Amino acid sequence: MSRIETVNPQRERWLQVGRRAVWRVAGGLLVLWAVATLTFFALRLMPGDPVLAILGGPSGNPSPETIAEATREYGLDKPLAVQYALYLGRLVQGDLGVSYSQHLPVTRVLAEQSWATLQLTFTSLVLAWLLVLLLTVLTVGRQRWVAKVASFAETVSAAVPHFWLGLVLLAVFAFGLRWFPPAGSDGWRTLVLPSVALAVPLAGFIAQVTRESLELTLEQPFVLTARTRGLSETAVRFKHALRHAVLPGISLSGWAIGALISGAVVVEVIFSRKGLGRQLYQAVQAQDLPLTIGISLTVAAVYVLANILVDLLHLWVDPRQQGKTA
């Protein structure tokens, strides 16, 4: 007599989450290898002698003996393929090397600079989502002119370059009104203008997607049912419609974190903030291979981790994954 096996929906859902996370991690390792490889060869193919960069540049006037010694010490006299293989071996062991320009372990530089960039990135992401909710939930389905003005603001915001907005914010709020400091990384006031410069373009882009999704959601039968129960329009939007409408925006949040970190390169330079973006800019200029690859791998790892977390958040927020319709 055969037994009838019952399927536990919750268990199946968590198994699905686990499988997806494993594939994401495997894909993330492939991304890290690709980033390390492309960065290695891109810097090696750049014009200029990396040995001179190690020794402080041509202005240092190193002797031929010093150049030859540094070439042997850093393994730059070996074929490029051998250098690449040795570097990958060190990366696998967790050895990111020593910065050519700062003469410090790359791990120490990353530890000192990462928090400032992560703080700026996640503050900007939270601010962007607050702007998204403000622009969409409060204007979708309202008077036509209100929706048009909000939609126009979203389009303009999405098209504004980070550097231009950063310079405008500096001119108006730092040098003009003197409300916020123009540079630095100490205190919350130094975080305001850089966060706004990063958040506004991102908010415009995500708001466009969320607006369209919310408009479609408000036309669904379950929303009409909620209204017939006597719920207020605010309750309908926040308790029922919003949970469905934000799913496309949540899916974009993993990409958004990568975009924010890349935008931080420009913003940190403009506002003279410490962080990985500014360090990456200086490392590329100095042909500092270990530091450039270390920062690139850190950014790629954050991007991969963010996408895994976004996947999990999407499964948690999506009512369809929980057997709900509203």
At residue 136's C-alpha, the angle toward residues 130 and 139, to 5°, is 125
The pLDDT of residue 308 is: 75
Q: What is the pLDDT of residues 260-275, one digit of tens each?
A: 887 888 888 888 888 8
What average pLDDT is seen over the chain?
A: 78
Please tell me whether the overall predicted TM-score, pTM, comes out greater than 0.75 for this model: no
Token output for 228:
């017939």
Beta carbons within 10 angstroms of residue 255's beta carbon: 16
Q: How far is residue 299's CA from residue 295's CA, in Å, rounded to a whole number?
A: 6
Superfamily of domain covering 105-322: MetI-like (1.10.3720.10)
Q: How far is residue 187's CA from residue 184's CA, in Å, rounded to a whole number?
A: 9
List beta partners, residue 98: 105
The pLDDT of residue 326 is: 43
* Residue whose tokens read 């290898």: 33
Q: What is the pLDDT of residues 78-104, one digit of tens each?
A: 888 888 888 888 888 878 888 877 888
The pLDDT of residue 325 is: 41
The domain segmentation of the chain, as residue ranges, is: 105-322
**Low-confidence spans in the chain with pLDDT less than 70:** 1-14, 16-17, 21, 48-49, 53, 56-61, 141-142, 233, 239-240, 311-326
